[in-house]
Structure 1
C-alpha cells in the first residue's frame, strides 16, 4: 500500500506534538523510501540540538542484535569453534551447563535450553551484569517449568552474551560489529555497556513539563541484555538491511522471526529478542527499549515492507508513538468499548494465591479499568464483567477475579481482600526476617500510622521504602525507582501467623521475583 508524503509527514509531526519532551527522532522506512523527523535538544543545558547522527542507547532493542550474531555464529563458526570439532549447537549447550552447573539440582533445570533463554521461557530471576555471577550462583529454583510460560528477564540475555563470547572466542562488541553493524551499514553503532557514560552529546531526561526535566542518572552495566548505542541514521540502515534480508527466505532474519510457540504448541509472542505483535490489523516484529531518561521502539511490518523507529531522550511512551504512526498510515481508529462506565464490582485488591502477588483494579477513563499486576494497564470493558487489553483478558465474579496474561501464558485467580479493617498493631510486623533462598534480610519497622521496609543482601543495603497496608496482613512495599526501567513497582508483602496469632514470617515478591519466603529471626 503506497503512502503519500503528506500522510507520512503528518504522522511523524503528530509524534512531536503528542509526546512532548526534550527531544526525539523518528523515521518511517517504506518500499525503499525514508522519511525522518528530528526535533529538540540532545543536551538542554548546553543547548546542543538533536540530530539524526546523535547516538542514543537503544537498550533492549540490542537483544535481537545479539541473537542475530548468535545464529550467524552457528551458521558461520569462528576459527576457535572449528578447531573444537563439535557442532556449534553442542558447544553452546555445553557452555550453558558450565555457567549454570546448579541446573542439575533444580527441578526442571535440565530441561532449560538456549532457545528458552532467548524466548524468555526459562524464568531465571532478573539480574544485571556486574553482579550477575553472584546472582546466578544463588539460583535455587525456577518460577515455572521452562517452556510453559514467558517472563521477561534480562539475565537470560546476560547468560546468552557470556555463552556467545566463551564459545566464539571473541568479545560481544566484536561479534556485534562484525556480524551485525558492518553488514547492516550501521556506521556509528557500537556496544557501550556502561550506562553512566552515554556517547556525547546525548543526555536522557526524567520528569515532565509539570515538574520539570532533570538529567537521568544511570549506573547499570549491560552486557547482552542491552548496551548498543545507535543514531537514527544507524537504525534506518538497520531497517533497510532487515527489509532486504526478509526477501530472502533462507536468511537469518527469516529464521529468527518464525512465529514462536510454547512447549505445548500454543502461540507465544517472543523469541530471539523479537516481540511479535499486531497493530491496525497488521502483524509486526519489533522491540522497545527503556532506561532512565530514554524510551525507544522499532517495529517492522513485513507484509507492507514498512518499518517505524522512535527514539526519545525522555520517558514518553515510545511504543504507543510507534503504533500511532502505523495507525495513522493505515487510517485506523480504535473501536469504542461497548460499556460506558466501569461497575463497582471491579474495584479493589485481589491476591493470587499461587504467586502471592496482589492484583489491584481501579477505575480508569470512561469504558476502562486499570489493572495493576506487572504494571498499570488499561483494559477496555467488553461487558460489565469482562475487560480486555492487548495483553490481558480479565473477568470478575463477585469476590474472585480471573486474569489471563496472554503474553506470558499465565492465568491468575485472585480473591478479593477485605480492605475495610484497620491495620493490626504495628508491633505485630516490626522485626527482622531472613530468606535463605534469596540470601536476603528484610527489616520491617514503623509505628501505628506508617510502616517501612528495607533489605540487606549480597548486593549491599537497600534504601528504605514506604509500606502501605492493604488488608488481611498484606502490604504493598513501594519501589517506584530501580536500576533499570521500568522499576519493579509495588512489591507484595504477605505476613504469616502461627496458631497463636503471632507473625512468624512473610512472603515477598513482585512479578520478576515472586514467592520469596522470609522467616522471622528477631
Structure 2
C-alpha cells in the first residue's frame, strides 16, 4: 500500500466520523487494503472487523439480477409472472428487463407506503408489501421510456424467482452466486431489526450523538444482502478473475441496456455505469437508516473499492476519496465563484408535475430541489449549471433541464406569486384509497397522509409559489426518504379548490380530490 493510499484510508475515520466502518481496495485480484475501525456495536463494545456482518442494502440488487440471469437465459419468459402480480393495473405491464433496469414505470413502494399513512418505524413485511404492490392501478410512465428508482422492481424479481424455481431466495443466492464468488458468510438478512453478530446501524452525528437506528422492514431482492468486508472482497476478486469470460455473472450484468427510443441507459441489472476521473466506474450504493455502503469496479484499471459505514456518512464520497488515491489523481477542485443566475426560483417540470426549486449555495454552486434529494450544481462559464446527472441551461425557449440518465429533457415552467392559504381540508386519492389532510393550526398549514397502514405525522407545508406547496418527508420507512412532496392545487372556474395533484420523484402524478 502506497503512502498516498494509506493516508486516504487513515483519513476516513476522521473525515466521515461515526461508530465504525470498513474499506477494501482490490487491484488486479490483489488485496491492497483490508481495513476496519471502530465498533460494530458501540454499546456492547463489539469491534468492527473485516468479518463483521453488514447490511449491504441496495447493493443487493445486482445479486438479485445475477441469480435471475443465471437461472433464466431469457428473462423475458417471466414477463407474464410480472403481469400476474399486478392484477389491478389498467395498462400494459412492465417486463422483467424493465424491472432490472428501473424502467418499469411503477411508483416506489416505500414512497407509496408513506401515502398510506405508515409511521416511520412501523413494521413492513410480506403482507404490507403484497398489498401495496398488488394495489397498483396505474404507472407513472410507459415502461422503457424513463428511469426511476423503484425498490419493489427487485422484490418482484426475487418473489418470482422463488415461485418459479421452488427454492428460497436465500438458497438461490448461495448456490448461484455466493459459493462461486467465495462469499462464505454472506446471507439473506431479510429482517432489518437485527444482525446475528450484534452489528448495529446508527443515526445521528458527532454534534448530536449517535443512537441505534430502529428498522422493522422485511427485505428480499431489493435490499436484503448481509455480507462482511471479506465477502465483498470475494465478489470483487471474482469480478476481476472472470473479466474476460463473456458468460461470467458480472459480464452479463454489465451488458449495455437502452431505453425504448434507443438512448443508452446507464442503469442496468442493479448496477450504474458512470464516469469518474475520466474512467468508467460500475457499481452501486446501499442505504438504510443507520447504514451506508458503496462498491464499484473500474474495468480499465482493474480496481475495486468497497466502503461500509454503520452510520449515515457519505460512503460514495469516501469511496471516491480512496479511488483518487489509488489512481494518483485529485478530486475535482471547487468551481469558480459566480453569481446566482437570474433564472433561480420556482419552476415546475410539466411531465412529472414536480416542482423544481433553484437557489444559490455560494462558492460557485446552486441547489436544485427536484429529484430524490437536493442536488448541488456547479455554475459554468457559459451560464449553465450542472453535475454528473443534471444540466440546467437557459435557452431561447426557456429554462431547459437535461437528465440523460433518466432519458428526460424538459422545458421548465416558471412559477411565481404566493400561494393562497385556503387549501385546508380533506382530500382522497381514489387510486390508493388514501387520504391527505391539510389543517390550519393557528395560521400555519400542516399536512399528513393516512390509509391502510396508519396515520402519518403532521408536517408544516412549505409555500413555493401560487397554488404550489411542498409537504416535507424528512423521515420514512426507507432511508433516504422520498423527499418533499409537491402539492399542485387545482381550482375550478369559481376559484374553489377542487383537487390536489401530488407527487415526488419516486411516486408521481397522483390525484387527490377534495372530500371535505
Range class of TM-score, shorter chain: over 0.9
Q: Distance in 1 between matches of 2:440 and 2:395?
A: 36
Q: Is 1:99 matched with 2:97?
A: no
Kindly state the Cα deviation for residue 12 of structure 1 after the two structures are TM-superposed: 1.6
Contact 1:56 1:199 in 2 (8 A): no
From 411, 415, 418, give the equivalent of 1:417.
415
**Deviation of residue 399 (structure 1)?**
11
Alignment partner, residue 436 of structure 1:
430
Shift of 1:400: 4.6
Aligned to 1:26: 23
Q: In the TM superposition, what is the alpha-carbon distance from 1:119 to its structure 2 partner?
A: 0.2
Find the counterpart in structure 2 of residue 511 from structure 1.
505
Give, in whole Å, the separation in 2 of the partners of 1:366 and 1:355. Answer: 30
- Size of the alignment, in residue pairs? 499
Q: State the SS of the aligned residue for 1:180.
A: helix
Q: Is the 8 A contact 1:121 1:147 kept in 2?
A: yes
Given the alignment of the two structures, is residue 44 of structure 1 paired with residue 38 of structure 2, yes or no? no
Task: Name the SS for the 2:486 alignment partner.
Answer: strand
Task: Give the stretch that moved more between structures: 287-296 or 490-499.
Answer: 490-499
Q: Please tell me whether residue 293 in structure 1 is matched to residue 279 in structure 2.
A: no
CA distance in 2, matches of 1:217, 1:398: 50
Counterparts of 2:2 and 2:244, CA distance in 1: 25
Report SS of the residue matched to 1:349: strand
210, 232, 235: which is aligned to 1:238? Answer: 235
TM-superposition CA deviations, 1:192-243 (whole Å, max 9, x none) = 1111122332111111111111111111111110111111111111111111
Paired residues for 1:86-485 under 5 Å: 89=75, 91-103=77-89, 105-106=90-91, 109-110=92-93, 112-127=94-109, 130=126, 131-336=128-333, 339-374=336-371, 375-383=373-381, 385-396=383-394, 400-419=398-417, 421=418, 423-424=419-420, 426=421, 428-447=422-441, 449-485=443-479
Aligned-CA RMSD value: 1.9
Report what 2:115 is aligned to.
none
**Residue 74 (str. 1) matches residue 52 (str. 2):** no
User: Aligned-pair distance for 1:339?
Assistant: 4.6
Cα distance in 1 for residues equivalent to 2:97 and 2:457: 37
Q: Mean alpha-carbon deviation: is it higher for 509-518 or for 351-360?
A: 351-360
Pick from 4, 7, 10: which aligns with 2:4? 7
Q: Deviation per CA, 1:370-393, whole angstroms, max 9, x where unpaired?
A: 111111111111136301100001
Q: Which moved more, 1:89-98 or 1:192-201?
A: 89-98
Q: 1:300 to 1:496 in 2, by over 3 A?
A: same
Match of 1:488 among 482, 489, 504: 482
- 3-state secondary structure, aligned to 1:496: strand
Residues 19, 321 of structure 1: 8 Å contact kept: yes
Contact 1:288/1:297, CA 8 A, preserved across alignment: yes
- Which whole-Å CA distance do the structure 2 matches of 1:89 and 1:60 have between them? 21
Change (3 A) 1:278 1:223: same
Offset of residue 466 of structure 1: 1.6
Hey, what's the Cα distance between the residues in 1 that align with 2:311 and 2:484?
23
1:299-325 Cα shifts (integer Å, max 9, x gaps): 011121110000000111111111221
Separation (CA, whole Å) in 1 of partners of 2:461 and 2:65: 40
Q: Contact (CA 8 Å) 2:75, 2:96: kept in 1 or not?
A: no
Q: TM-score, normalised by structure 1?
A: 0.91
Using CA pairs under 8 Å that are at least 6 residues apart, name the structure with larger relative contact order, 1 or 2: 2
Structure 2's unaligned 5+ residue stretches are: 111-124
Residue 63 of structure 1 is matched in structure 2 by: 61
Which position in structure 2 is the counterpart of 1:498? 492
Taking structure 2 as the reference length, what is the TM-score of the superposition?
Answer: 0.92
Are the aligned partners of 1:386 and 1:395 in contact in 2 as well (CA < 8 Å)? yes
Give the drift of 1:274.
Answer: 0.9
Contact kept in structure 2, 1:187 and 1:234, CA below 8 Å: yes
CA distance in 1 between partners of 2:286 and 2:53 (Å) = 14
SS in 2 for 1:442: strand
DSSP 3-state at the match of 1:515: strand
Q: By how many angstroms is 1:416 displaced?
A: 2.7
- Comparing 152-161 and 330-339, the one that deviates more: 330-339
Q: Give the conservation status (yes or no) of the 8 Å contact 2:472–2:484.
A: yes
Distance 1:211 1:400, change over 3 A: farther
CA distance in 1, matches of 2:251, 2:362: 41
Cα deviations by residue, 1:406-455 (Å, 9 ceiling, x for unpaired): 22112233223224x4x53x4x2111111111221111101463111111
The CA distance in 2 between the partners of 1:300 and 1:339, in whole Å, is: 31
- Counterpart of 2:59 in 1: which secondary structure? helix
Alpha-carbon distance between aligned partners in 2 of 1:412 and 1:460, rounded to the nearest angstrom:
37
> Offset of 1:94 from its aligned partner?
3.0
